[in-house]
Structure 1
Amino acid sequence: MNTTRRSRRLLAVAAASSLAIAACASDDSATPDEGADAVESVDDTAGGDEPETTDAMEEEADPADDGEAAPADDEAPADDEAAEPLDAGNTGEVGGSGCGIPHGAYEDGDAPAGEVRVAWNQAAYSFNSATNRGNATANNNPLYLMNAGGFSYYDADLNYINNDQFGTCTIDSLDPLTVTYTINEGVTWSDGVQVDAADMLMTWASQSGVFNDADTVVTDTGVTAQADADGAPVLVGPDGDDVTAADVDTYDAAFDPETGELLDGFTYKESTGVSFDSSSESLELITETPEISEDGLSLTATWDSFYVDFALTGPFPGVPSHVVAQNALGIEDPAEAKAALVEAIQSSSTEDLKPISESWNRDFDATALPDDPSVYASFGPYNLTDFGDDGTMVFEAREDYTWGPQPGVQTIVYSIIGDPTAAVQAMANEEVDVIAPQATSDILTQLEGIADRGVVVRQGDGATYEHIDLAVANAGPFDPATYGGDVDTARAVRQAFLLSVPRQDIVDRLIVPLNENAEVRNSLTQVPGSPAYDAIVAANGSDFYAEADPEAAAQILADAGVETPIDVRNLFADDNPRRASEYELIRDSVSQAGFNLIDGRDINWGSNLANPSLYDVTFFGWQSTAIDVTGTEANFVTGGQNNFYGYSNETVDALYEELQTTTDQARQDEILGEVEAVLFDDAFGLPLFQFPEVTAYNSTFVENVSSIAIAPTVFFNVWEWTAA
C-alpha cells in the first residue's frame, strides 16, 4: 500500500531533529550525530544512501548512500581567521545569543571566480527538506548551497556560529523560555523579497502541530486525506464507497503490490481539515502564536516548557512564505500574500490554512528545474540556475549577497553519479573535482592510484552509523497483530531475527579492510569513544546480541511456537555494493534460524521508508546534522519523524520528554541509557558499525576543501573553496 499506518502525530522535521537519512555516493546513511548531543538524519551524500532530520534527519527523505563524511580539517575556516576572535560572551544566557556564537562582520575578499564540479550519488527531489518526505541529505546538500549563511552554521571545530549579519536570536527569558529572532533589513530572497518574520511564522505553523486536524493525514506522496480511526488515509473505491484500513484485504488490494501506488479507480478521500507534513519536538512546545514586531522583521516565541536544544531548533526560515501564500491563496503581490498568510495563521482560519498547508507540503517538490523560479527561491550565497532531468544542478554565486561569508567560487556544478567506481573514474578523467564515494577498500585503492594527478584523499571515522530496524505495525512477521495481538510472541520473533544477524562478520569483512580498528557498534544513541558510550553499553542489554547465534535463535522460535520458515522482506538501497554484501551476509546467517530474507533492494528505498507495508526489515545509515542532546528522539518516540516502523513505548516517550528539559549532563546520560535498555529489551533493532569515510578532491582544480563529521560534511565551508 502507498501509505504508512502511522499515528496521527506527524514526523519530526530536520530543523528540529538531528538525524537525516543519508544517501551518499559512498553509503546509505542519515545525517545527525550519534552522540548524546547529536542530531541524526538520513544521509544521501556522495557517500551513502540515507535520509537526513534531525539526523536530523534523519534525514526524512530519500536516502542516498552512506552519507559519509571526511574527518574535520585542523584548519579553522578562512572567514573565522579573518574576523575578530570568536567570543561566546553571554551566549545561552538572558540578553545573549540563542543560536550560537555571534560571528561579526565578514571580510569582502576577492570576487568569486572559476568553477568547481562536485559529484553526489543521489539527485534532489524537493526544495522543502522540512517535510517528512523531504528530510534527506539529497535535498539538504543543494539547499545548503542556496541558504548557507542563514541564522547559524558549524565551523571546522564544530563551534555553533550565529551569522549575525543575517539575523540575531536574543534570549529574553529562560523561564519561561522566550527568544526574539530578528532578521536584518536588506536580507532578501533571490526574487528580491525581504526575508522576515512571516517566513519564521510559516516555519512555526508548519512544524508546531497547532493547526493539524486529528482526522486529517498526509500520505507518503504528499496528498492530504481524511484519516480513519487508526490514522491511515481513507480511500474511495470505484463504487464510491469508503475503504478504511480496518478492512485489511480490500484496503491492501487497492495498492499495487510492487510499487505501492494506488490502482486505477481508487482515490484518497478528501479531508476538510489541515495537516502539515512535518513536526518538531521543540516547536510543538510553542502553543501560543509567536508575536511579530511592528516592522515585521522580528518574531518572539515562548516555549510552554524549557527545551534543552532550543538553540538548534528555533523557527528558522525554510521555504518562502510569500510563495506559499501566492500559490495557496492566489494573491500575486508578495507583500499582500505574506500579510494574508500571517492573518490566516493568527486567526487560525481553516479555510485559508488548508490550501496553505497543501502548498507547503507539495509545491516545492521537483526533480528538474521548475517553470516557476519562486519554487527554488533562496537567501544564501548561491542561486540555482539549472536543474537537469539527470539531476545535475548548476549554482552561481549571488551578486547581491552581503549578509554572510562570501563565496570564493563563481560556479558550482553538482552532478549525480550513483556508482562509487564511476565517481572515481570521473575524477580520474578530470570530469569532477570533489567526491565523497562509498568507502570500500577497492575505492580507496583506486583513489590512491590517482594521487599523482593532484587527487587528495582524506579518510577516517565519520558520524554516520549503520543500523538495522524492524517494522512492528505492518501485519508482518514482527507485528503482534500477526499473532493475534500476542506481544510476547512478536517480541520473541524479533529477538530471534536480530540474534541471527552476523554483526561481527559484517564488520570484519566489510569495514576492517578500511579501518583495522573497526568494532561492532553497541549503542543506539552514542558514538563509540564518546564519554558515555562504555557505561551505556555495559547496562543497555546489547550483550544479548554480542555474537550471532542462529541455533539459539531457532530455539527461541521453537519455544514461542512459531513455525518456520518465516518470510522477511528486506528493503535496502540498490546500486550500493556494501549494502548488497550486507544483505548476503545477513541472509545466509538468518536462514540458519528459520528466516527467509527476501531481497527488496530498491533505487527508491529512501522514499519508501515511510511505507513499511512494503518491507519488514531495513538497514541504512543515520548521519548527524547537529551537536545536540535530544537528536535521537525522532528515531524512537511514538510518531517520531525517523520512526517509520510504528514502534511505540510509553516509557521511551516519557524518558525523552524528561530529556527535553534536563540540563544536567550526568542525568542526560542516565536517561539515554534507560532508553537504550528498553529498546534492546523490545528488540527494536540493532546498531551495526560506524562508517569509514573517504573524501577526495583534485587540488589541481580546487583548494580549501575540508569536511566535518556532521552534515553537510564536505560542503560545510563551501564559501572557502577556491577554484585553483
Structure 2
Amino acid sequence: MRRTRAVAITALAAATMVVVAACGSSSSSSSTTSATSGATSASGSSAAGGGTSGDSGTITYAQEQEWYDYNSGSSSGNATANQVVLNQVLRGFSFVDNTGTVQMDDEYGTIEKLSDSPLTVKYTFNDKAVWSDGQPVGCADFLLAWAANSGRYNKDGTINQPGTIPAEPAYIFDTASTSGIDQTQKPTCADGDKSVTLTYDKPFVDWQVAIGTSAGSSILPAHVAAKAAGIDTAGLVKAVETDDVATLTKVADFWNTGWTLDKAKGLPDATTIPSAGPYYVAAWDPGQSVTLKKNDKWWGTPAKTDTVVIRYISQDQQVSALASGEVDVIEPQPNPDVNAALNNLGNAVKADYGSQFTYEHMDLSVKNGFANEKLREALFKCAPRQQIVDNLIVPSNPDAKLLNSLMLMDFQPGYDQISQASGFANYADVDIEGAKAAYAASGEAQGKTIRVIHIDPNPRRTNEVALLKASCDPVGFNIQDVPLSSDKFGPTLSAGDYDIALFAWAGSGLLGSIPSEYLSTGGQNYSGWNDAQMDQALNSLATLTDTSKALPLLTTVDQRLAANYYSFPIFTFPGVVAMKSNIEGPVLNATQTQATWNMQDWARTG
C-alpha cells in the first residue's frame, strides 16, 4: 500500500488525542520477540461469522471490548472498541502510524497546505473514491464532517462564528471534539465536487489530522444521513451553504444516534454502514464477533487477506485462545503471567512489546457529587493512588510506577520536569486526617454517596473501587461501585451521569485534541470543569506553531487540574501484540487505533 508524505510529530507533541480505552511506539521502545521453548500451534477452530483461523483467507483477531457504533466521532461512540473495527472500513486523508508519525493517505486523497497566513488547506478526494454501495465520495461527505465538528450550529437555531464558543454549548451535532474545526470558515463546494478548501481564522497545531482522518474524525457517508433526514446530498450541501439549521438538525439527529448498533436488531443494512476502505462490515454476532470482508469497491491497494474476524475475548483468555488456534492475533495487557505464557509457546508465536499512550485515571464531576471543592480535596487526600499501583499493578508489572501527569506519559521527554511541577505527587499516599478535615470543612453530612462508574467485567477496576471505598468511607464518603458494560459506559460517560469516572484514555499523540478534554467548553469535558487559567493555556496550546513551546502550557494544565482537585492520574499501560508465527503484518501501535491500524497488510504466510 502506498502511503507517503510523512509529517513527523515531535517527541513533546506526542501528548494525547483520546478515546475511551493504546502515539506511536518507536523502534527504541518496542521490540519483536520470538520465544524458544518449542511449543506448536494448534489448527484453527470455527469463528462466529467468519470461517476458521486455519483458513488462509481468514485471520482472527482477539479484542476485549465490543463494537457498538459506526460513528466513532460522536461523544458516545468515541471509543477504542469502535475504532479497532473501523480503521480499515472508514479510511481518511491521514492516520497516525506506529512510530508516532502523521502519515498522509494518498490512496484516499491528498491534503495540500496553500497558505500559512491564513492557514489554508485544500482537500482532494481520489477521483475513484466511492462508497461500497457505489455512491461517490465527495463534497457532501466533507461538508457533513465539517458541520458535525465545527460547533457552528446550536439547538436553539442560532449560529456560532469561528472561534466563538458558547458558555454552555448545545450543538445539534453531539460531536466528541470541535478542536481546530471550530476555528475555520465555512467551506464551499458543489455536490459531486472532489476538492474542498478549508481556511482557518487561527493557526491549528494538528491541521494535518483536523478532519477526515482515521485518527478519530472519520468521513461518514453523507448520502445515508441525508436520506434519513428526507433530503439528498444536494439538499445537504445546500443546507450547509444556507445555514439551514432546521434541515441540519434532522441530519444531526441521525448522525448522533442513527449509526448506533442495536443488539436486538442486529447488523444494519449494508447501505446504512457502507465502507470507504479495504474492508466492509459483513457480519456482526453480538457478544461474539464482527466479520470484515474485502471491499471490492475499494479503489486503493487491495487488502492482503480476504476476511478478518474480530472475536470478543477477555484479556485473561487471549493467550489461551492464541495457543489453541482459536485466534491468530491478540492484544492483551502484558504482565509476567502473560509474558511467561507467550514465552512458553516458543517459536509458534511472535510478540511486539512497547509503551502505550493509555493511562488510568479518575475524573471527579463538578456537575454532580463534587461541586463542592472541599469534597474534591477530601477525595484527593483519601484516594489510595500509590496503594492501587503497589497492590494491583506492580504484582503483574514490576516496572509500574505511579503516574503524576495527565499531559505526558512517564516514558516521554519532559515527564520528569512536568511531574515534579504538576502537584499530583502531593497526593501519592493517603492523608486520612487531612481528608477528614477537608470533608468537615465542606459542610456535607456524613455518608455522602459517590457513584464510581467503570467498564465491566474488569476485576482490576472492581478492586480499585474497593480500595477507594476502604480508604475513603471512613472519611465520610459512601463509595458506590457502578459497573457498566462497554456499550453502556460510553453514553453514560458522555452524559456526565456519574460522580467519579474510572477509566483509561487512549491517546494518539496530538496536541490539538487535548483542549477538548479540559476546556470549560470542551466536547469531552464531561465533568463540567471550568478554570480560566487552564482555558488560556489550552487555547494557546491549540494554536502553537512551535511545539517546543508546549511544555510550559502542558504544565499549567496539569497544575490547574491538581489545584482544583478535578482529576488525577494513576498509571500507564504497557502494550503487546502477539501473533502466530505464520502471520505477518501486525505491529504494535500505541494509539487508540491499536493493532488494526494496518490490518489491510496482515497476511498468512503458510
Give the TM-score of the pair, scaled to structure 2: 0.85
Distance 2:455 2:386 in 1: 21
The aligned counterpart of 1:37 is 13
In the aligned structure 1, how far is the partner of 2:59 from the partner of 2:235? Answer: 42
Q: Structure 2 vs 1, CA of residues 130 and 70 (structure 1 numbering), >3 Å: closer, same or farther? A: closer
Q: Aligned residue for 2:255?
A: 360
Aligned equivalents of 1:349, 1:294: Cα separation in 2: 16
Match of 2:365 in 1: 471
Q: Is the 8 A contact 2:70 2:260 kept in 1?
A: yes
CA root-mean-square deviation: 2.8
Counterparts of 1:38 and 1:158 in 2: how far apart (Å)? 7
- Corresponding residue SS for 1:129: coil
Give the aligned partner of residue 36 of structure 2: none
Structure 2 counterpart of 1:504, from 350, 362, 386: 386
CA contact (8 A) 1:69 1:707 kept: no
Contact 1:113/1:411, CA 8 A, preserved across alignment: no
When residues 659 and 296 of structure 1 are mapped into structure 2, their CA distance, relative to the original with a 3 A threshold, is: same
* Preserved CA contact (<8 Å) 1:637 1:643: yes
Aligned to 1:194: 136
2:430 is paired with a residue whose SS is coil
Structure 1 residues 401 and 323 mapped into 2: Cα distance closer, same or farther (>3 Å)? same
CA contact (8 A) 1:380 1:401 kept: yes
The answer to whether the Cα contact below 8 Å between 2:25 and 2:355 also exists between their aligned partners in 1 is yes
Letter in 1 for 2:250: P
1:383 paired residue among 258, 263, 280: 280
Query: Is the partner of 1:656 in helix, strand or coil?
Result: helix
Please tell me whether residue 645 in structure 1 is matched to residue 527 in structure 2.
yes
Distance 2:281 2:483 in 1: 32
Paired residue secondary structure (1:134): coil
Letter in 2 for 1:595: F
Residues 1:425 and 2:308 are matched in the alignment: no
| Cross-structure match for 2:271 | 374
Cα shift at 1:204: 0.5
SS of aligned partner of 2:275: coil
Deviation at 1:367, TM superposition (A): 3.9
Which AA in structure 2 matches 1:209?
G
2:597 is aligned with 1:716:
yes
Describe the superposition over 1:194-237 as per-residue Cα deviations: whole angstroms up to 9, x where unpaired: 21122111100111122223479xxxxxxxxxxxx9889xxxxx
Aligned residues: 557
Asked if 1:169 is matched to 2:111, the reply is yes
Q: Which residue of 2 aligns with 1:298?
A: 195
- Give the one of 166, 173, 177 matched to 1:276: 173
Match of 1:261 in 2: none
**Structure 2 CA distance for aligned equivalents of residues 373 and 402 of structure 1:** 18
The residue identity in structure 2 corresponding to 1:356 is V
Q: Give the C-alpha shift of residue 610 in structure 1.
A: 2.2
Choose the corresponding residue for 2:500, options 611, 617, 638.
Answer: 617
Contact 2:349–2:578 (8 Å) recurs in 1: yes
Note if 1:520 corresponds to 2:421: no
CA distance in 2, matches of 1:71, 1:213: 41
Relative to 1, partners in 2 of residues 1:695 and 1:70: Cα closer, same or farther, differing over 3 Å?
Answer: farther
CA contact (8 A) 2:90 2:219 kept: no
Amino acid at match of 2:553: I
1:327 aligns with 2:228: yes
1:642-721 equivalences in 2 (<5 Å) = 642-700=524-582, 702-721=583-602
Q: Residue by residue, what CA displacement relative to the aligned partner does 1:149-191 show, whole Å, maximum 9, x if unpaired? A: x311233333321122321111111111111101121111111
Does the aligned pair in 2 maintain the 1:290–1:299 contact within 8 Å? Answer: yes
Which of 541, 544, 562 is the equivalent residue of 2:426? 544
Aligned-pair identity in percent equals: 31
- Which of 445, 448, 452 is equivalent to 1:570? 452
Name the structure 2 match of 1:484.
Answer: none
47, 71, 94: which one aligns with 1:152 = 94
1:554 matched residue in structure 2: 436
Query: Does the 8 A contact of 2:139 with 2:189 survive in 1?
Result: yes
Q: Deviations over 1:484-516 (max 9, x none)?
A: xxxxxx212111111111111221222223433
Q: What amino acid is the match of 1:715?
A: T
2:86 aligns with one of 137, 143, 147: 143
Alignment check: 8 A CA contact 2:11 2:413 kept: no
Match of 1:415 among 301, 305, 311: 311
Structure 1 residue 576, shift from structure 2 partner: 0.7
Partners of 2:59 and 2:27 in 1: how far apart? 20
- Would the alpha carbon gap of residues 371 and 558 (structure 1) be closer, same or farther in structure 2, given more than 3 Å must change? closer
Q: Is the 8 A contact 2:169 2:521 kept in 1?
A: no
Q: Is the 8 A contact 1:183 1:298 kept in 2?
A: yes
| Distance change (3 Å), C-alpha of 1:658 and 1:230 | closer
Separation in 1, partners of 2:194, 2:146: 15
What TM-score do you get using the length of structure 1 for normalisation?
0.72
Shift of 1:692: 2.4
Q: What's the offset of the Cα at 1:354?
A: 2.2
Cα deviation for residue 691 of structure 1 reads: 0.9
Q: Secondary structure, in 3 states, of the residue corresponding to 2:470?
A: helix
SS of the aligned residue for 1:393 comes to strand
SS, match of residue 577 in structure 2: strand
The one-letter amino acid paired with 1:708 is: N
1:75–1:156 CA contact under 8 A, matched in 2: no
Q: CA deviation at 1:309?
A: 1.4
Instruction: Tell me how far 1:519 sits from its aligned partner.
Output: 1.2
Give the unaligned 5+ runs of structure 1. 1-32, 41-53, 60-66, 77-111, 217-228, 233-273, 332-336, 480-489
Taking the aligned partners of 1:569 and 1:73, their CA distance within structure 2 comes to 42
Residue 57 of structure 2 is matched in structure 1 by: 114
Structural mapping, 1:427-506, within 5 Å: 427-449=322-344, 451-452=345-346, 454-474=348-368, 476=369, 478-479=370-371, 490-506=372-388
**Stretch of structure 1 that moved more, 360-369 or 650-659:** 360-369
